[in-house]
Amino acid sequence: MSSVSTQLSAWTERLPLEITKVNHRLAIASLISQIGIIVTGGAVRLTNSGLGCSNWPNCVPGSMTPTPEMGIHGLIEFGNRLLTFVLVVIAVAMIVSVWRMRRTHRTIYLLSLSLLSVIPVQAIIGGITVWTKLNPWVVSLHFLASTALVAVATLLVNRTALKLDGHREILAIPSSPTQRTLGWTIALAASAAVVLGTIVTGTGPHAGDALAPRHNFSADLVTRIHVVPVYILVAATIIALVLAYRIQTAQALKTALWWLVVVIGLQAAIGYIQHFNGLPVLLVLFHMLGSALLVSAATNVWDRATGRFPV
């Protein structure tokens, strides 16, 4: 036992004491994988494969893997479950890579730990989703947990980039009180839009299975409610962008705002086109990707505008 401990100690001594490009690349991989599993989860629902595996943690009673009787839907659902292990591998690699910095770079370590610790919770929510036969409220919670991890991964990317460049503060130029208020407004409006978007989805036709329950709401009404925070988000983003060029503002915040403008524009276009064309599957999938990108972009703006999260 002491020999194993000695070997382990010798191995950990080789780990870096400062943030390297490897750490930053793992942070980026975390963000991409968290966004990716949202897209693949959407593909499961949009192909009516939500109950392709009818049980959890087994795919079907008595079998961890899908049986031939489950057909293509079983393979699609099981494939999405397997992607969870990819997230785990990346999250573990991230924690290992910053292990010797857990005291000196505490924020980065805790963000890395958060990504790993939430994955089992997300898996359990996925199991409850199957057990409740795709109850739309549980499906929404499953999606929102993933978007929360996208936000965490975005902060992790920002922090590793800062440390890699030798910066000690998120804001090279302090933002004004108005910019900080707009940063909070953008974050809250984007969050509200995403949350209400899950209710719109839960009311719509793409349930993941023909027999899955749906919200008994007016689709037109919940859609109109959903766009209210979108309008607020658009207004706050425009004001923040104009203000960024009227007063001295860090370039990182300007860049973050432009990225947000691009994401909002694409997401709004997709949203309107899909709404007036009967919610075609491919556009709905792109809209889910857009939701993940919106969360990341809004989180980035909030981070750059407020500087409230520790470095």
Write out the chain's pLDDT in tens, 311 residues: 555 556 556 666 777 778 899 999 999 999 999 999 999 988 888 888 888 878 888 888 878 888 777 778 888 888 888 888 999 999 999 999 998 888 888 999 999 999 999 999 998 998 899 899 889 999 999 999 999 999 999 999 999 999 888 777 787 788 899 999 999 999 999 999 999 999 998 888 877 777 788 888 898 899 899 999 999 999 999 999 999 999 999 999 999 999 999 999 999 999 889 888 888 889 989 999 999 999 999 999 999 999 888 87
Amino acid at 170: I
Handedness of CA 248, 250, 255, 261 (dihedral sign): negative
Are 154 and 300 in contact, with CB atoms under 8 Å apart? yes
The phi, psi pair for 215, rounded to 5°, reads -70, 140
45 closest CA partner among 266, 215, 206, 221: 206
Q: Phi/psi class of residue 173: alpha, beta or left (left: φ > 0; alpha: ψ in -120 to 50)?
A: beta
Quote the tokens at residue 197: 């978007």
Predicted TM-score (pTM) of this structure? 0.92
Q: Is the peptide bond before 229 cis (omega within 30 degrees of 0)?
A: no
Handedness of CA 111, 141, 274, 218 (dihedral sign): negative
Are 260 and 237 in contact, with CB atoms under 8 Å apart? yes
Are 76 and 52 in contact, with CB atoms under 8 Å apart? yes
* Cα–Cα separations (whole angstroms), residue 35 to 248, 269, 291: 33, 20, 9
Quote the tokens at residue 62: 């008595």
Quote the tokens at residue 78: 């099981």
CA distance 77 to 65: 10
- Which DSSP symbol is given to 176? P
